[in-house]
Structure 1
Amino acid sequence: MVLDLVLIGLAVTLEPVPIVAFILLLSVERGVRKGLAFITAWLASLVLVLALVLVTTGGTPPTRGSAPSTAVLAVKLAIGVGLVTYGEHRRRRLGRPRKPPAWATRLNSVSVWSAAGLAFLVQPWGLIAAGCATVVDADMSMVTSYLALTGFCLLSTGSLLAMQIYATFCPMTAQDRLTGFRAWIERHEDQAVVVIALLLGLWLVGRSVAQLVG
């Protein structure tokens, strides 16, 4: 479970769309405050969905080979296949011009509450679903499970936290450097999405198939 959560957490924190949205948000008026609202909503929604999973399972992992365990593996397999399919779809569209998302043109006038809503909108829910399917195996009677879940939440938010801290304590230099970073990400966004989706999707497919037939 821990290795899967680490890989999924890395995929979430490196997802280009939330990073670009967050950098744009930091560049507007009262950007640091709105960035804090974004991170708070991001973490809250992440913790909420994980908590719902744990409430459903009772904090006890399903018995290996049981119907619930097989169903969870089937879900992870389906998510993996979906990621691979999406990654391949984006790979075939590499180099084609894309329109900027609608929210990108409205950030100059966004409120603190809207910034929080944006976090929910741009969260990579396909990757979060993979994390939720993995969390089903958490045994909440063990301290290591709490540490693993905490680490997953922090890792999934790591890139945003780093930028928020940078913009808070080094506002003069952060603006230019984050703008340059955003431009670099936008030039390589499609390639990053393809790599993340294909690698994580293939990992989930391989792990799920191995556990289903093992």
Structure 2
Amino acid sequence: MAAIIGHILPLALGVALSSVPIVVMVLILLSPRGRWSSLTYLIGAVIGLLGLTTLFSAIATLLPPAPPEAKSPLIGTIEMLIGVGLLVLAAIRWRRGRRHEHNPAAGTPKWMSKVSSLGPIPSLGLGFILMLRPKNLLFTLAAGVAIGATGATFAEAVVGIAVFVVLGISTIAAPIIFAVADPARMRRPLEGTREWIERNSSTVTTVVLLVLGTVVVGSGLAHY
């Protein structure tokens, strides 16, 4: 169990620090229908992340179990491919950030400007869809392999999935809960958070992808 938690903690951190779901959460909270729309957005994100993690964990149980000495070239190869994918995404994100620095007029994507007008049902769908972004898919796939391909019992798998989902969703769940409880007090911090993320999201995302990609590649190498 400890080995599973150790593998999924950095991956859950990668999901939690994904800038787009956080910015969308802030925009929804600042919208006229923010209270109900933010709650359905959170529900959609939980359903998406939980469903993906459960699916990948179940598929990973079909892989041959690692031998007692914890050497498994197949699992190692899968982890290395996921890690390389994260490193490629880091390079893409860095290049996009550089282009944005040279062309600030590019601004926020057009679809994000429409977020503040979303109602509860569209917000639920958006929360679900944002969990299907390529970066999240790689993080969740790596977590599924860590949970399902290690011979964990059903109870251990349930705990591992729960820990991954709770931590991965924490950065949008906590602000939503506090904002719903006291919207007036949270408005100013939310506006400051939105501005900070819009200025620094490229750097934060690149560093997170680079670090976690390296960690996952290293974990894969350890299986050889």
Q: TM-score, normalised by structure 1?
A: 0.87
Q: 1:55 deviation in Å?
A: 3.8
Identical counterparts, % of pairs = 25
Q: TM-score, normalised by structure 2?
A: 0.83
Q: For 1:140 and 1:210, locate their aligned partners in 2 and report how far apart those are by CA, in whole Å.
A: 19
- For the pair 1:38 / 2:18, whether they are aligned, the reply is no
Note the 1:1-214 alignment, pairs <5 A: 1-56=4-59, 62-64=64-66, 70-97=73-100, 98-123=106-131, 124-137=136-149, 139-141=151-153, 143-211=155-223, 213=224
Q: Please, which runs of 5 or more residues in structure 1 have no aligned partner?
A: none
Report which stretch shifted further, 45-54 or 191-200: 45-54
Q: For 1:168 and 1:47, locate their aligned partners in 2 and report how far apart those are by CA, in whole Å.
A: 23
Q: For 2:151 and 2:66, locate their aligned partners in 1 and report how far apart those are by CA, in whole Å.
A: 13
- 3-state SS, counterpart of residue 222 of structure 2: helix
Letter in 2 for 1:184: W
Q: For 1:80 and 1:2, locate their aligned partners in 2 and report how far apart those are by CA, in whole Å.
A: 18
Report which stretch shifted further, 166-175 or 95-104: 95-104
Moved over 6 A (4+): none
Q: 1:72 deviation in Å?
A: 3.6
Q: 1:93 deviation in Å?
A: 4.3
Does structure 1 conserve the Cα–Cα contact (< 8 Å) formed by 2:83 and 2:217? yes
Give the aligned CA root-mean-square deviation in angstroms: 2.3
Letter in 1 for 2:93: R
Q: 1:53 deviation in Å?
A: 3.1
- 3-state SS, counterpart of residue 96 of structure 1: helix
Quickly say closer, same or farther: Cα 1:138–1:112, change in 2 above 3 A: farther
Quickly say closer, same or farther: Cα 1:195–1:208, change in 2 above 3 A: same
Q: 1:50 deviation in Å?
A: 2.4
Quickly say closer, same or farther: Cα 1:57–1:208, change in 2 above 3 A: closer
